[in-house]
Structure 1
Amino acid sequence: MADNAARRDRIQKAWEAAWDRGEVAALDSLLSPAYRRIESGGAEHGRDEFKASIVSTRAAFPNLSTVVDEIVVEGDRAAVRWHSSGAHTQSFLGVPATNRSVEVNGATFARFRDDLIVEETVTWDPRALLTALGIVSVGQDR
């Protein structure tokens, strides 16, 4: 089993490569082939779907910057607090470019098996993104 500092370092490097540079193959050394990602709202994705979502997000927000604010690792668990910002310059999930700058933040909770992450639960507020893009008004019902 890797030590906590080594796991923190691997998470940091893989996130920077994937989210900031679009080098999603860097996740292969961190995420198990059986990886499962559970997002806000309950949607679940495998490793390849997650990597594809990063590619499509970066296409819509080409200057996307994701900052890892904090990583806490203890045993087979890790918690990552992060925030992302970027300008919406291309279509995203069917929404035409708004050219608005957005910022979202969230937390990711991971579970390792052996030395790979097998599961992550991600919590963030997608409504904050939709509000920043001008798609949903503050106080508007769903």
Structure 2
Amino acid sequence: MQTNNNKAIVQRFNKEVIAEGNLQSFLELMHPAFINHTAAPGMDKGAQGVLNTFNNILRPAMPDMQVIIYDQVAEGDLVTTRKAITGTHTGPLLGVPATGKTITIQVIDIVRLREQQYYEHWGINTLSAVVAQLAQA
């Protein structure tokens, strides 16, 4: 039962925070001691770094951003999600001007929950490959 609740929390984060940009949901779902173990070098490893990535890097580049969850596996306090973040590239993305193309960033996340909030994060994604492809277009 707890694993299903944990999956639902991660699903809520993906829908309300990533896709919709809901700041209230972000504040409710982030533990004060949150740490992103795979933040890019030089980036804030706390909750503000996550918010910056979504609201200041990805959302301006693709304001119609959506999240597609393909799979979730939960065990104990961990939830692993295989997903895609997709949208239309209508604004600059890490220095690449808008192309108007639909882009898809593949992601695998592992989130540790504590007190029904995001407490730790590990992840891999294809953002750098997507940016490289856009730069060649």
Q: Same fold (TM over 0.5)?
A: yes
TM-score by length of 1: 0.82
Q: Displaced runs of 4+ in structure 1, greater than 6 A? A: none
* Cα pair distance change 1:9/1:123, threshold 3 Å: same
The equivalent of 1:33 in structure 2 is: 32
5+ residue gaps in structure 1?
A: 138-142
TM-score by length of 2: 0.84
The total of aligned residue pairs comes to: 135
The equivalent of 2:83 in structure 1 is: 82
Shift, 1:39, TM fit: 3.0
CA distance in 2, matches of 1:65, 1:114: 27
CA distance in 2, matches of 1:93, 1:128: 12
Tell whether the 8 Å contact from 1:102 to 1:132 is kept in structure 2 after alignment.
no
Shift, 1:107, TM fit: 0.4
Shift, 1:64, TM fit: 1.1
The equivalent of 1:140 in structure 2 is: none
Spell out the pairing of 1:2-81 with structure 2 (5 A cutoff).
3-39=2-38, 45-56=45-56, 57-81=58-82
Letter in 2 for 1:45: K
1:68 alignment partner, SS class: strand
CA distance in 2, matches of 1:61, 1:83: 13
Q: Which protein shows a greater Rg?
A: 1
Give the superposed CA RMSD: 2.2
Letter in 2 for 1:21: E
Q: After superposition, give the CA deviation of every residue in 1:62-120 in whole Å (9 maximum; x if it has no partner).
A: 11111111222111111011012111111222322222221121100112234322110
5+ residue gaps in structure 2?
A: none
Spell out the pairing of 1:59-138 with structure 2 (5 A cutoff).
59-133=60-134, 135-136=135-136
Shift, 1:136, TM fit: 4.8
